[in-house]
Amino acid sequence: MSDEMVRIEGPPIGRIFDEVADTLKFCNARFYAFPAALVACSAINAIGSFLRVDAEKSATYPPNKDRFAACIERYFPDKYHNVSARLWESLRCALSHGLTVGRDVAVSCRGDRRHLHLSEVDGWLFVSMLELAEDLAKAISSYSSDLETDVELQSNFRLRVKLEADGKP
């Protein structure tokens, strides 16, 4: 990926995504499930913010919920599609706004529970941060590859960065 195409003020986007991956590894290694989930959800939301941008409406269009869902739909395995709204509400929003998870989600960094990822356990949606981190890494890789060749994504990226820089969050 060329630095010119995806340079933000400071590091290229690839470096930012590398830092996301490193942060997730750090959190998961120490069983810090909530910080890992917050970083993962923020990255999902960020990728979604680059998928569709409307200069007339500002950098916040479409709404964050739709951005999150767009990233899940485009870059994550099918098993995420039916739980995207629940991940948004009970994981992303609950952590971002209240530093907790919703009452219907359980989050773990334990390796012996990976097989439960995105399954319903006694009314709780179980999220394995190890699985989510791996799937996010694949999503980041796919987005990065698409960004190298997809002219519309390149245009959206530039426009989104410009809107942010112009103070139109």
Per-residue pLDDT of 48-90, as tens digits, reads: 988 877 666 655 567 889 999 999 999 999 999 999 999 999 9
Q: Please say whether the beta carbons of 54 and 109 come within 8 A.
A: no
Q: What is the pLDDT of residues 112-144, one digit of tens each?
A: 889 999 999 899 999 999 999 999 999 999 998
Please count the other Cβ atoms lying within 10 Å of the Cβ belonging to residue 94.
21
φ, ψ (nearest 5 deg) of residue 164: -60, -45
Please count the other Cβ atoms lying within 10 Å of the Cβ belonging to residue 65.
16
